[in-house]
Each structure stands twice: as C-alpha cells, then as structure tokens.
Amino acid sequence: MQLNSEMNTLSPDKPYKTQCSSFMYNRVTKLCTPGSGLSPLFPPPTSTEGDLFLGDGCDSNQNFRSFSYGGETTYAAYFNSYQNFTDAETTCQSLGGHLFVAKTLARFDLFKFIVNSTGWVWIGLNDIQVEGMFVWVDDGQEVDPVVKTNIFETNQPDNWENADCAYGSIWNGRFVLDDAPCSGFMTYVCEKRSC
Ligand SMILES: [Ca+2]
Ligand SMILES: [Ca+2]
C-alpha cells in the first residue's frame, strides 16, 4: 500500500494533499485527524492510535516516500538497482540517510512492507568490523539477540565465503535475512527518519 494509492482510495479529489501535510486514520474508530507533520522529537503513532499518512511535503524527495505499517513510520526509498553493500550505504548517506535499520521486529515488518518483492535486498546490518558481531549502520549498535534470531533464516548467519553483510530475501516462503559477501550486487532500501 503506497501513500498515494491510499489517498486516492480515501479521497479521489485529494483534499488532504492541498489542505494539510499529514493525517491520522484510525481503522477501528474510522476517524481521520488532520495533522501538520511528523516531528523527529516525538515517537511515531502506535497502531492503536491509527496509521499516519504524510502528504507531498515529505514525498517526491529523491524517490523517498513515507511508509507506515503496523504503527511504524519512516521515509524510505527502495532502489531497484544493483550495488555492493558499501556503495549502497554510500548512496544512502549521500541522500542524507542510511541503509534501512530494523532494531525491532516491528521495524523488520516495515522493511518487508517496503520491499514487497522477492528480490535480494541489502539491509543496514553487517559484521565487517568484528566477525560474528552484527551491528546496525546508523549507530554501530549490535543487533538484539532475540531480534537477530527472528529476522535471520535458520542456521544463518553462517559466514559462508566470508559473508559479512545482511540481505533479505524469500527463504522457504518467508522473507528473512542471510549473510552474504559484501561485494555482492543487490537492490537496497535507504531510509531517513524524517524528511
Ligand atoms: Ca561474517
Ligand atoms: Ca549466509
């Protein structure tokens, strides 16, 4: 579900695009609340509060769009072109972001939602510095062990052929992570927490 298609469904003449920069829609109460945007100073809305939709002020910015899934919100761009891990992260940084970071299972669900494909996709996680210690590219924090167990395929990461970089793909019908040599060429997701 992309922002624009959702807006078109809710409102064919797109009044939200011109009258406010964001709105909340609560699927339970079916109430829509106009807003002024998402501040990085505040946490994103929870799923019980509703789903946040952001208008053009944060869209069409180097292909970055707002994505909202399960109460998690971010600005991200899926690059359907092939780069090695380092070049992909460099590209993301040049755009003011990083490769996607998923420190919680909810954030990994958001990653899956953004990718929405069966390709091979770099995520911002690697053990380049210390073998076996997977850290996120935004701040070098080690992946939470419970999250790691849930987002990697069974028996991965295995460091096969000196694999130091994590990517997502479909394994046995599930979208999960594997480690691969960082020199491999894959698609990738860049994200910026705010526009
Ligand atoms: Ca490794
Ligand atoms: Ca592997």
* Ligand 1 midpoint to CA 161 (Å): 9
Does the reported pTM lie above 0.75?
Answer: no
pLDDT tens digits, one per residue of 144-190 = 999 999 999 999 999 999 999 999 999 989 999 999 999 999 999 99
Ligand nearest to the CA of 131: 1
Q: Which of 147, 151, 125 is nearest to 138 (CA)?
A: 125
- In tens, the pLDDT along 14-38 reads 434 334 456 777 888 888 776 655 5
How much of the chain is in helix, strand and coil states, percent to nearest 5?
Answer: 25, 35, 45
Give residues whose Cβ lies within 5 Å of ion ligand 2. Answer: 156, 158, 160, 163, 178-179
Asked if residues 193 and 75 have their Cβ atoms less than 8 Å apart, the reply is yes
Query: Measured in angstroms, how far is the CA atom of residue 179 from the centroid of ligand 2?
Result: 4
The ligand with the least distance to the CA atom of 164 is: 1
